[in-house]
Amino acid sequence: MTSALEKPADLSLLPIPETVVNLYTPKRPFRATVVSKYRILDRSSPNYCWHVVFSLKDSEMVGKYRIGQSIGVMPNGRFNDAAFNYVHNALTNQIRLYSIASASWGDDWKGETVSLCVKREVREDEKTGELVLGAASNFICDAKPGDEMFITGPVGKSFLMPDDPLNHDYVFVATGTGIAPFRGMLIELFNRGFEREAWLIFGVPYSTDIMYDKDFRYFADHYPNFHYITAISREQHNAMGRKLYVQVRLEQNQDSLAPLLEKPDVRFYMCGRKGMEYGIYPWLYRIGSNLVNLPEGLTLEDIQRLPQDAPEWSRIERARDRERLLKETY
Residues in touch with ligand A2P (CB under 6 A)? 175-176, 203-205, 233-234, 243, 245-246, 273, 275-276, 278-279
DSSP string for 103-153 = -TTTTTSSS-EEEEEEE--EEE-TTT--EEE-HHHHHHHH--TT-EEEEEE
Tell me how far apart the alpha carbons of residues 126 and 82 are, in angstroms, rounded to a whole number: 26
**Closest CB 43 distance from ligand A2P, rounded Å:** 17
* Nearest to ligand A2P of 65, 245 (CB atom): 245
The DSSP code for 245 is -
* Nearest to ligand A2P of 114, 210 (CB atom): 210
**Closest CB 279 distance from ligand A2P, rounded Å:** 4
**Closest CB 119 distance from ligand A2P, rounded Å:** 7
**Closest CB 318 distance from ligand A2P, rounded Å:** 20
**Closest CB 288 distance from ligand A2P, rounded Å:** 21
* Nearest to ligand A2P of 30, 245 (CB atom): 245
Region of 66 (left: φ > 0; alpha: ψ -120 to 50; beta: rest) is: beta
Residue 324 CA neighbour count, 13 Å, CB half: 19
* Nearest to ligand A2P of 76, 99 (CB atom): 99
Tell me how far apart the alpha carbons of residues 250 and 199 are, in angstroms, rounded to a whole number: 10
Tell me how far apart the alpha carbons of residues 186 and 180 are, in angstroms, rounded to a whole number: 11
Q: What is the tally of helices (H) and strands (E) in the chain? A: 9, 13
* Nearest to ligand A2P of 214, 242 (CB atom): 242
Q: Comparing C-alpha atoms, which of 319, 204, 198 is closest to residue 269?
A: 198
* Nearest to ligand A2P of 246, 326 (CB atom): 246
**Closest CB 114 distance from ligand A2P, rounded Å:** 22
Ranked by CB distance to ligand A2P, the top (closest) residue is: 176
Tell me how far apart the alpha carbons of residues 129 and 69 are, in angstroms, rounded to a whole number: 36
* Nearest to ligand A2P of 26, 275 (CB atom): 275
**Closest CB 231 distance from ligand A2P, rounded Å:** 7
